Structure 1
């Protein structure tokens, strides 16, 4: 096993830091061999079978091509829950965990009707359904391929979530219009001009439709969601967004222009404007 670990370090050393490589080693051996960090230390002198070594070598080769390890393994951890991920969906981010924790903390012990718009992998919807077990959760996405991933995640994690294919930028179908207590969304919000600052593993592998918005209209999806929210939110209902840190105040202005009240910007653990919350009253 030591020679395998040395090979991983040597192969990935040109592209990744030591801490990143240590993380890869832990995740790879846990996924392929079922080894914990303690096992790696205790059994470091064990000899791996040829089949296990080949599996690991293939994984390392893909990581060396900048493919995210979550896509290589097909799994990503979010809010302590294992999610299936494919190149059709974004890899869940730690900042989005903070959005889930915010909603969970504010609505603990209640039974809200929740709508997740643009659900992607379903990580928000499934996590909220697990953390707020009395809630009723529905999740929408424009893509049926994406919804297949989200449904799989709900089934694997025994989360009671209803999924629907809905394009929020168009007129809502009548059957989709019903009252919700909470609308949550992490819509595309990265401006095209920000591409130059992004890592290759994101640009080359993650779905651009779920990431980017035009430079000239960065709040495109927020506008559509707020318009739909006027028809969907119950009296005094809550709306929660993850946002581009550059557009916190513009997002709040848009909320107020659309009649939403009690607006607030919430910073993430890095001190960046990352979430917006508001309510809608008659």
Structure 2
């Protein structure tokens, strides 16, 4: 297996690694303790503990079916875990009970906390009946109730930031996959979230178009945005992460800084995964 070295940008090189001392000075935006999630008899998450400190990038890697995307979707309650605790900005989610029928006890709390988290999906999920600019503006207008002039100014600046400022009046169907995903990132940023959640943001794209999106993600990492990233792109994980979490069969098998994970893996399962992934 060839060694992979994390190519951190200078602005991230000095960031403290997550840990007890760093957590005190840098409280997590998202913290998960003892998370369990099952679909019927299939247990997908088996007691997962994870934290995303402010300004850090946490990347989830692992084989298909390891629980990466389910864990990410549990962070903003697109999926409801049957047991475990989730805290957003230090505020614990309140639940009705535990078990298969568990639901959030306070829907208003969920709506409020969800505005702190923005999700970028694998399949872009742009609204086909809205222009790109309208897509980016929709949630701040309807969910946050912000003034239209303020939102439009921010939306146009974000489209320029991700390199598609000239596509504001285009329809999603007129854009390439890479452009659509960059529009989806601008849409997420327009909510001014505390954390960005990326679910395989490059996997639906051709290799040539992937680099457009990778560049945007690297730029956001250099700005010390709090992000949780699910990806099969090991080079991206090595380049942007402060911490890499390897999931196997619903458990965290190994975690650590990218240099450790990719250059000195400690478990046989991680070594096997990296060997197979990097040989593909």
Structure 1 length normalisation: TM-score? 0.30
| Bigger helix fraction | 1
Structure 2 length normalisation: TM-score? 0.30
- Point out the structure with max Rg over C-alpha: 1
User: Which of 1 and 2 has higher RCO (CA within 8 Å, sep 6+)?
Assistant: 2
